[in-house]
């Protein structure tokens, strides 16, 4: 009897979201989920959340750029998102004379707004196309099914594509290929920077506070979407006008209290909540430690140069921030997975599934097949990480690797002179971007150290043939760092990539032998080709087989307890989702309590004059001292609230997502998760999971009181 009870409990664990867990498809909110939202404090109807025929909240939520979320907050196309989402645009618009990254920027009129190369994407509608997809691949074996799927997807999305109006469709696989949903999008291409706080506000706390609570970061930036006079998407033009959106979010400055409702819309990038114990073992033992170790080296070497020179800091800022963010995440993820024994928990769930699968031919060999697949791939998993995070961790090597397209155009049978010229033109443009962002002192060291790490950490049988022997013969002992530093200097000194005269001569008279003999290209392409030619098939076979087994496992999970399917949600895959929960304090460990919000007082407490991470504008500090908070003050605290936390379920891609109260008003912007629950991509912690948000009152204070951009505030619909 005891074993039966355990089996049933584990079955439910596999199936059902608990507490505030769940990233729900807005069109498929079942009555059970919707009523749970109402119990949490939602005051809106289902149709106000998502509607095909009428405007609704979903019309105010956008994909911002290529990997963040934003929200429309005025009837003139004003966008709020995170500072780190707009970071590239802010840095790219900055110069040493006009350093918007350091000093902040606000457009006091629309003609001061700064053009960008960003696009934003609106969701038009969501369509279940499962029957169409399954009909297109019916009867095919897995390998043939995979090949056919993209063709079937294209047939489906071609029916809604309308390039002139920015319309396109994208089919998403849900529940690991057991359901298919098409999102129909409208893409706008004229996006302009309207405002951003100084980096000392937008990144206050830096890497030290990243993924941590309490937090005092003003992580926001402001943009605007433009369209033609008849509302159509278009490239940048002075004739374009601000977009009139279908819906925009009112902004609440009323405040909230512990326990109040919080809802988050956005585009979470990826979770794997149905990962197996085999996947977690690979992640904990090989993938994450390799990534963290290699990124740690890159960060330290970049940082050493950035603190010496403001110009270098500006040059490397975007790359450094990108590398640092997930360096800390994956380090924390491994620690939390191990701390909470997620591997063992998954094994228990799999044992329950195996028991249920007995006598069911479709499923009874599933775990044997999983083990064989992982056993075949594990010996090569570390090399793959070292190529991606080590070899290509050098900006020079990464650019050199991109020149493989030029080599193909020069040597592939059937290629024309036109193909070569097109590849060269693209490479020439990319080289200019690379040179503008490259810092030789740090990257030369990265090139040296990651190459040495590959030698020491990767099975010698997997090394590129002859490479390390060549380094030894010319530069010295392979156990000595100075050898690799001498080699890296030689690469930089002699590559055509760093020499304008040699590069221009190559572009004028392209020759495959010249490219192949180049030391930077020979290094990067050699390591990539070594992996792709010898073990690339192992990698693709592993991934394909794993996807096939995952689809079968997911199908079995849903069959184990059909009644619980109504409370299941698919893994995040950068399709629009809504999550719900509450503003809520928590107790991360024994005798420690974390409040649900932080204030200006906490900023002052953390402030360190001139510090790389904890400096703060003197003007803001003076205003804090005078309690000059205007209408944005929290009267119950006689202070300005800076950040707050909720129990919402989010992940990467939700950066910039609106935090919405029970009445549909914006109260903040989501920008991070807490360290105690960094296992959230794999396992949601119902007690400790928190989403870290910047309070919209702090955002408005920065824009209005600190930045003097009252013109922006006048656009908003404020709820008092």
* Phi, psi at 196, each rounded to 5°: -160, 145
Calculate mean pLDDT across residues 529-533: 97
Torsion, Cα 86 92 95 100, to 10 degrees, reads -10
- End-to-end, the C-alpha distance of the chain in Å comes to 58
Write down the pLDDT at residue 411.
92
- Nearest by Cα to 497 from 552, 433, 569, 553: 433
Q: How far is CA 503 from the centre of its chain?
A: 35
CA angle 83, 88, 93 (to 5 degrees): 105
Cis before 214? omega within 30: yes
- The two structure tokens encoding residue 700: 């408005």
pLDDT in tens, 489-529: 999 999 999 999 999 999 999 999 999 999 999 999 999 99
Helices 481-494 & 519-560 angle (0-180, nearest 10): 110
Domain ranges in the chain are: 2-119+189-270+574-719, 277-552
In sequence order, what E strands does 175-314 have?
A: 179-188, 190-196, 221-227, 241-242, 251-252, 261-266
- Which region, left, alpha or beta, applies to residue 65 given φ > 0 means left and ψ of -120 to 50 means alpha? left
Q: How far is CA 592 from the centre of its chain?
A: 31
Write down the pLDDT at residue 440.
97
Distances (CA, A) of 466 to 58, 526, 640: 56, 10, 63
Q: Does residue 9 surpass a pLDDT of 70?
A: no
Strands 179-188 and 120-128: antiparallel
* DSSP letter string, 469-525: HHHHHHH--TT-HHHHHHHHHHHHHH-GGG-HHHHHHHHHS--HHHHHH-HHHHHHH
* Rounded Cα gap, residues 549 and 681, in angstroms: 20
* Rounded Cα gap, residues 78 and 70, in angstroms: 10
With beta carbons less than 8 A apart as the criterion, state whether 595 and 607 touch.
no
- The two structure tokens encoding residue 117: 């190369």
* Percentage with pLDDT > 90 across the chain: 91
Residue with tokens 């993938």: 287
Calculate mean pLDDT across residues 26-34: 87
Q: What's the helix, strand, coil split of the chain in %, to 5?
A: 50, 15, 30
Sign of the CA dihedral running 279, 212, 642, 204: negative
- What is the DSSP-derived secondary structure letter of residue 50? -
Taking the CA atoms of the chain, what radius of gyration do you get in angstroms?
27
Calculate mean pLDDT across residues 112-119: 97
With beta carbons less than 8 A apart as the criterion, state whether 661 and 77 touch.
no
pLDDT in tens, 199-210: 999 999 998 999
Write down the pLDDT at residue 325.
83
Half-sphere exposure (Cβ direction) of 125: Cα atoms closer than 13 Å: 10
Calculate mean pLDDT across residues 352-363: 96
Element (DSSP H or E) covering residue 32: helix 31-40
With beta carbons less than 8 A apart as the criterion, state whether 84 and 202 touch.
yes
- The two structure tokens encoding residue 444: 């030369």
Write down the pLDDT at residue 364.
95
Half-sphere exposure (Cβ direction) of 272: Cα atoms closer than 13 Å: 15
* Rounded Cα gap, residues 471 and 415, in angstroms: 34
Distances (CA, A) of 709 to 705, 715, 716: 8, 11, 12
Q: Does residue 16 surpass a pLDDT of 80?
A: no
Q: Does residue 15 surpass a pLDDT of 80?
A: no
**Which of the residues are catalytic?**
84, 219, 655
Higher pLDDT, 171 or 318: 171
Write down the pLDDT at residue 17.
52
Q: Does residue 2 surpass a pLDDT of 50?
A: no
pLDDT in tens, 409-422: 999 888 888 888 99
Q: Does residue 6 surpass a pLDDT of 80?
A: no
Calculate mean pLDDT across residues 328-357: 94
* Rounded Cα gap, residues 41 and 46, in angstroms: 14
- The two structure tokens encoding residue 350: 């799999």
Annotation: CATH topology of 2-119+189-270+574-719? Thrombin, subunit H (2.40.10)
Higher pLDDT, 565 or 448: 448
Residue with tokens 């028991």: 355
3-state secondary structure of 51: coil
**Residues contacting residue 465 through CB under 8 Å, at least 6 positions apart:** 530
CB neighbourhood size of 431 (10 A): 20
- The two structure tokens encoding residue 244: 């009139």
- Nearest by Cα to 307 from 206, 448, 447: 206
How would residue 562 be classed by pLDDT, with cut points 50, 70 and 90?
confident
Q: Does residue 580 surpass a pLDDT of 50?
A: yes
* Rounded Cα gap, residues 587 and 571, in angstroms: 28
How would residue 318 be classed by pLDDT, with cut points 50, 70 and 90?
confident
Cis before 544? omega within 30: no
Mean pLDDT of all residues belonging to the chain: 94
């Amino acid at each position: 009897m005891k074993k039966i009870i355990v089996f049933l409990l584990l079955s439910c664990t596999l199936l059902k979201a608990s507490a505030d867990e769940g990233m729900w498809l807005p069109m498929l909110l079942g009555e059970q989920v919707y009523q749970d939202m109402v119990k949490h404090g939602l005051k809106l109807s289902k149709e106000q959340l998502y509607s095909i025929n009428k405007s609704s909240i979903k019309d105010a939520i956008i994909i911002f750029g290529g990997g963040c979320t934003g929200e429309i907050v005025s009837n003139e196309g004003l966008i709020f998102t995170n500072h780190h989402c707009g970071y590239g645009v802010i840095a790219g618009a900055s110069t040493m004379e006009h350093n918007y990254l350091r000093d902040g920027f606000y457009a006091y009129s629309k003609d001061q707004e700064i053009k960008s190369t960003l696009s934003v994407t609106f969701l038009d509608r969501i369509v279940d196309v499962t029957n169409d997809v399954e009909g297109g691949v019916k009867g095919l074996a897995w390998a043939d099914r995979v090949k056919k799927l993209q063709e079937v997807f294209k047939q489906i999305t071609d029916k809604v594509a309308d390039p002139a109006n920015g319309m396109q469709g994208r089919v998403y696989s849900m529940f690991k290929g057991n359901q298919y949903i098409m999102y129909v999008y409208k893409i706008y291409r004229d996006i302009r920077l309207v405002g951003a706080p100084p980096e000392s506000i937008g990144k206050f706390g830096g890497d030290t506070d990243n993924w941590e609570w309490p937090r005092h970061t003003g992580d926001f930036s402001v943009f605007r979407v433009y369209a033609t006079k008849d509302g159509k998407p278009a490239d940048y033009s002075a004739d374009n006008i601000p977009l009139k959106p279908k819906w925009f979010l009112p902004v609440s400055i009323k405040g909230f209290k512990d326990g109040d409702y919080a809802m988050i819309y956005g585009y979470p990038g990826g979770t794997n909540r149905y990962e197996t114990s085999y996947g977690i073992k690979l992640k904990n033992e090989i993938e994450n430690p390799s990534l963290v170790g290699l990124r740690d080296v890159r960060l330290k070497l970049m940082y050493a140069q950035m603190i010496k020179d403001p110009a270098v800091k500006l040059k490397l800022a975007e790359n450094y921030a990108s590398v640092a963010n997930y360096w800390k995440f994956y380090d924390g993820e491994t620690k939390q997975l191990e701390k909470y024994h997620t591997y063992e928990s998954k094994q228990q769930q799999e044992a329950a599934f195996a028991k249920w699968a007995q006598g069911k031919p479709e499923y009874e060999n599933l775990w044997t097949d999983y083990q064989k697949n992982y056993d075949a791939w594990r010996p090569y998993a570390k090399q793959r990480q070292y190529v991606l995070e080590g070899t290509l961790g050098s900006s020079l090597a990464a650019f050199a690797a991109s020149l493989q397209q030029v080599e193909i155009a020069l040597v592939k049978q059937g290629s024309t002179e036109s193909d070569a010229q097109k590849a060269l033109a693209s490479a020439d443009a990319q080289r200019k971007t690379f040179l503008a962002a490259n810092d030789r002192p740090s990257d030369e060291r990265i090139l040296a150290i990651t190459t040495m790490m590959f030698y020491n950490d990767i099975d010698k049988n997997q090394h590129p043939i002859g490479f390390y022997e060549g380094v030894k013969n010319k530069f010295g002992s392979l156990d000595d760092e100075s050898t690799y530093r001498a080699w890296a200097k030689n690469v930089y000194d002699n590559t055509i990539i760093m020499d304008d005269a040699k590069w221009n001569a190559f572009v004028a008279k392209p020759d495959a032998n010249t490219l192949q003999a180049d030391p930077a290209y020979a290094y990067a392409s050699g390591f990539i080709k070594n992996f792709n030619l010898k073990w690339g098939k192992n990698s693709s076979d592993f991934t394909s087989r794993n996807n096939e087994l995952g689809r079968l496992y997911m199908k079995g999970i849903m069959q184990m307890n059909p009644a619980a399917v109504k409370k299941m949600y698919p893994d995040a895959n950068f399709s629009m989702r809504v999550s719900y929960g509450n503003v809520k304090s928590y107790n991360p460990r024994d005798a420690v309590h974390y409040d649900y919000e932080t204030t200006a007082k906490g900023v002052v407490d953390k402030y360190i004059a001139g510090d790389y991470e904890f400096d703060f504008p003197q003007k803001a500090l003076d205003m804090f001292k005078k309690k000059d908070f205007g209408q944005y003050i929290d009267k119950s605290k006689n202070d300005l609230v800076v950040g707050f936390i909720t129990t919402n379920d989010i992940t990467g891609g939700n950066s910039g997502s609106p935090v919405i109260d029970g009445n549909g008003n914006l109260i903040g912007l989501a920008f991070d998760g807490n360290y105690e629950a960094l296992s959230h991509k794999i396992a949601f912690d119902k007690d400790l999971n928190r989403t870290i948000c910047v309070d919209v009152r702090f955002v408005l204070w920065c824009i209005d009181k600190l930045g003097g951009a009252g013109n922006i505030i006048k656009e908003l619909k404020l709820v008092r």
